[in-house]
Amino acid sequence: MTTWANTLEQHKARQRELILDAAGEIFIARGISGLSMSALASSAGMTRPTLYNYFTDVDAVIAAYGRREVARYTEELQQQLSTGEGPAEQLEMFARVMVTGHTEHEHEADWMKYVPADRSAGEMHIDPLRELLAGILRSGIEQGVFRSDVDPEQAARILFDMTESAHMLTHEGDDEQRLADLSIDFMRRILAPS
C-alpha cells in the first residue's frame, strides 16, 4: 500500500470514529430517537453529503456504533473475567455484569435494544458477548465444572437472553442484585454436573 493510500485509509478511519463519537453524544443527550443524519452531520462538524460517504443511513450508523461499543464492552468484560478463578466464578461474574452492568451507561441500554443486525456480515451485534459466554461454558464443560450434555452455543444463547431479560426488569424498578442472584442461582442449578 502506498503512503498516500495508507494516509487516506487512516483519515477515513478517523472520520468514522468521529462520526460514531458524535452519534454516542446524541444518544446520551437525546436518546436513539434523536439521531438523524442532519443532527449527526452537524454534531460531527461535516456536511450531510460528506456523512453519506461514510454511512448510507441512520440504521448503518446505529449498527456500526453498536458493533464498536459491543467490541469495547466485550474487551472490558474479558479483562474483568480474567480475574475470575475458573469457569464457575467467571460465569457468575458474567451474569452479574450482564444483569447489573448496564446501569452505569443507561444510553447503552437504549441503543442496544434497537441495534439492527448487520445482515451483510451475517452477525448480530451481540454475538461477541454470546461467544464470550459460550467460551466460559466450553471451558467449564472441559474441566468437568459444568454438565457435559449441554451444547455450549445453545446454552449461551439461552443464558444470555435470560440475563438480558433480567436486566430489562431492572428498568422497571426490580432490584438488580436480587435479579442477578436469581439468574446466577438458576445457572448453577441447570449447569451442575449430575
With cell 468484560, the residue in question is: 77
The answer to whether the CB of 137 falls within 8 A of the CB of 156 is yes
Return the amino acid letter for 23.
A
CATH class of 1-55: mainly alpha
Please tell me the predicted confidence (pLDDT) of residue 139.
Answer: 96
Please tell me the predicted confidence (pLDDT) of residue 72.
Answer: 85
CATH class of 68-191: mainly alpha
Phi, then psi, of 31 in degrees rounded to 5: 80, 170
> How many other CB atoms are found less than 10 A from the CB of residue 34?
12
Phi, then psi, of 146 in degrees rounded to 5: -115, 155
Give the model's confidence band at 87: pLDDT under 50 very low, under 70 low, under 90 confident, else very high.
Answer: very high
Residue 124, pLDDT > 70, answer no
Please tell me the predicted confidence (pLDDT) of residue 173.
Answer: 66
Return the amino acid letter for 61.
V
Instruction: Return the domain boundaries, the chain.
Output: 1-55, 68-191
Task: Read off the C-alpha cell for 41.
Answer: 452531520
168 vs 156, which has greater pLDDT?
A: 156
Residue 138, pLDDT > 90, answer yes
d(CA 66, CA 23): 11
